[in-house]
Chains A and B, each alone.
Chain A
């Protein structure tokens, strides 16, 4: 399968709450990336974490990577209504010529 898996498929929370999304993959990777997509738009890069890194932060975002379990998580703290979007993880495989394999995505809805 070209795709990894993400869970949950959909997440609905209130503003101010934290949102956690998980991603699993199948092959050895160079890096794992998280992207955000607003409805009907392109993807916006959020964070890239390399295979030798375990945790990375960017503003309200925290990403972890566990290569032994082939999994990653994205945490959005103190969510806002503007965070409503679909979030995708994507892995760049080792020797993969920069090609990305995307997960199925998590649709996040943050209610005011």
Chain B
């Protein structure tokens, strides 16, 4: 149980393109989803917290107009990297938490490797 699907797994696109990444909880309802960014051989940096039906909460230094997050249902959150540039190239990972449960692990997707040419 507790499967999180992230799509696509890999994107290569030209500079200026907007890219949408989907994160779905397949067998549970997730009121909260998280979006992380990971540079090669580094740790995960939290970008934003996505709550179903409300605006996302962004971490300090993360541009909310650059990284648009939508959490329209209890099983789907999307991250859109708008007008992507080479410096946005990275590994993006989502995670999800079941609703109303404390002291539970986050369930992670398999990540999306974004390469901007």
Contact = CB atoms under 8 A, between A and B. Distances in A.
Question: Which size class do A's interface residues fall under?
Answer: 20 to 34
Interface residues of B, number: 27
A100 B42 CA distance: 16
B105 interface: yes
A65 to B, nearest CB: 13
Contacts of A88: 43-44
B54 interface: no
Instruction: Give the dominant DSSP class at B's interface.
Output: strand
A7 to B, nearest CB: 13
Contact of B43 (A31, A41, A42, A105): A105
Interface stretch (B65-73, B74-82, B106-114): B106-114
B113 A43 contact: no
A45 B49 contact: no
Interface of A: 2-3, 30-31, 33, 35, 40-45, 48, 50, 88, 92, 97-105, 107
Given A40-B113, A42-B108, A45-B105, 18 more contacts: A2-B45, A2-B46, A30-B103, A31-B103, A41-B110, A42-B4, A42-B93, A43-B106, A45-B107, A45-B108, A48-B103, A48-B104, A88-B43, A98-B97, A100-B34, A100-B106, A101-B46, A104-B42
